Structure 1
Amino acid sequence: MQNVTQSVTIVNMDQLTTPVRAPELATWALAHGRGSLTSDEVARLLGVDTSQVRQRLNAPARRGEWVQPTRGLWVPVPPEYRTWGAPPGIEIIDAMMRHRGIGYYVGWLSAAAIYGAAHQAPQVFQVAVDRHMRDRVVGRTRFVFAQRGITSIPTIAHPTRDGSARVSSVAATMLDVADDLMRAAGIDNAATVIIELSEHELFDVNDLARLAPSFPAAAGRRVGWFLSQFTDRDDLGPLRQVVRDAVTSVSHLEPHTPATGPVDSNWRILINRDVEPDA
């Protein structure tokens, strides 16, 4: 991932003629567009050994000026977020993942919220990662990580204070939500989110059709069924063609409900539960 601030960071730090004082470092970092600093960078700015960084930043951290979301990474907290204990998750995630060398994208309900399609505020910040990452709480944000293959998932670059964060595309978010109903807070909420995402300016049913083969057939079938039942879209043919015959078996609308009910032959899905999207 491109580090959009790296060249600026090197110039600013090399131009320092005297060390920055620890009580002033957060202000310096924010003024220079730095959303995070490694322990080595902090040591260089303070003119101390890396082993002294934690001691030097202890008092500023207790004042809420710094937060450490992962070992070796320090995030300056803007004044407006100091009562929170940290900036919002979307402002932290990219620096944290780059520091750990982990591929990621913001997904599920957290991505939906960024697109304005979360009917209820997500209780956690949901992130897909390409290797194990322990869940954690940073300030008011509870990060929940799910390990999965991410290379085939399209993302957008969502602007942040000092760069951008990777967020799953509208189509990928819809399919993720339909695939994992537990992370989507249940089938009714999943239907609501998918309906709202279909109204976003970036939604294109052809994107859904192209991406659906990368997901279980049930995900694409659920998305198609939700949109056919609860919207007036008449352009679902490309998606239906891809997912209807993807596998010969019928998919269940609700995977944890007994397999009884009618089959919608257009989408090859068993309607084993009533779905009631939020108004």
Structure 2
Amino acid sequence: MKKRHPYHALDKWVIELQSEGRHSVSLEELRKKFPKKSEAALKLNINRLIKKRSIVSVYRGYYLLIPPQYHRWGILPAVLFIDGLMKYLGRKYYVSLLSAAAQHGAAHQQPQEYFVIIPPPALKLTVKRGIKINFINKKKVDMRFVEKRKTATGYYNVSTPEMTAADLVFYAKRVGWMNRVATVLAELADEMKPEKLNVSFVKAIGVATLQKLGYLLDEVLEKKELAEALYKAARKARISFFTIPLMREAGRKRYAVSKKWKIIDNVQIEIDDL
């Protein structure tokens, strides 16, 4: 009788997990499932499965189970595993910036990296087999402005179109500065709702972000209904505007100033062809 290899049990269990709809497993689970295996033997088996592209480590102690249709890439799309990873890490999060904009229909702005906003402490950038997850720290992650989207593996958190717009403005440097932000907003604005630009929203995003977003919607993109809703909410919330540059890095002398939004127009905005 042919002797059974000791690693066959691990292979079989991985297949069983996938048949149950699982797409990930932790090292701790593997240790509990195979208590008789030494640490060295277990890691040897794991490395063999990694070489076969059956699993891949996307964070220390956390492995994705790769179904046959994804063996070519050796990894799942980030949208399919980000929620499981963040639950494993015990972290609040939401997908944002260009990644969220793409989910909301800004199809021309497909990012080369996956943007995930988290509260402190920071997490290191994760790069695995062509997928780059950029974790961005935000002092306060307000889940009131987050939606749940369904995927083949469950759900994930993504910022609303309105919060996506605000984050793009606040983190403009991360996504390619104001020209890129304005180009994305030109598409994203179609998904934004005036009633969502309310007092709770303007209080959550910060005054400078509010002014810049209002200015871009109003005087650059001419999305007057959205801009007016934002302005009325700011007045209702009794928020005072102060004169600030659209981009601090571009300087602030000898430029026109928006009387309504108190923005120094120190950047020539050019919208990319959509």
TM-score interval w.r.t. the shorter chain? 0.7 to 0.9
The answer on 1:40 being equivalent to 2:28 is: yes
Q: Residue in 1 aligned with 2:197?
A: 208
Cα 1:234–1:169 change in 2 (3 A) is closer
Larger deviation: 85-94 or 210-219? 210-219
Which consecutive unaligned segments of at least 5 residues does structure 2 have? 1-6
Q: 2:243 aligns with which of 247, 250, 253?
A: 250
Q: Does 1:180 align with 2:171?
A: yes
Tell me the alpha carbon deviations over residues 240-263 of structure 1, each in whole angstroms, 9 at most, x when there is no partner. Answer: 134476344212212211103111
| 1:199 is the counterpart of 2:190 | yes
Q: Which runs of 5+ in 1 are unaligned?
A: 1-18
Partner in structure 2 of residue 266 of structure 1: 260
Q: Once the 2 structures are TM-superposed, how far is the Cα of residue 86 of structure 1 from its aligned partner?
A: 0.9
Match of 2:135 among 130, 142, 145: 145
Distance in structure 2 (CA, Å) of the matches to 1:48 and 1:247: 66
- Cα distance change on mapping 1:50 and 1:29 into 2, 3 Å: farther
Query: Conserved in 2, the CA contact under 8 Å of 1:85 and 1:138?
Result: no
Q: Does 1:160 align with 2:151?
A: yes
TM-score (norm 1): 0.84
For these two proteins, the number of residue pairs brought into alignment is: 259
Structure with greater helix share of residues: 2
**Worse overlay, 80-89 or 112-121:** 112-121
Q: Secondary structure at the match of 1:234?
A: helix
Deviations 1:156-191 (A, max 9, x none): 112223211111111110000011111121111101
SS of residue paired to 2:250? coil
SS at match of 1:256: helix
Are residues 211 and 250 of structure 1, via their aligned partners in 2, closer, same or farther at CA, if it must alter by over 3 Å? same
> In structure 1, what residue type is equivalent to 2:179?
D
**Deviation, structure 1 residue 192:** 1.3
Q: What is the match of residue 26 of structure 1?
A: 14
Report the Cα distance in structure 1 between the residues aligned to 2:62 and 2:38, rounded to whole angstroms: 12
Rounded to whole Å, the distance in 2 between the matches of 1:119 and 1:254 is 24
Please report the RMSD computed on the Cα atoms of aligned residues, expressed in angstroms.
2.3
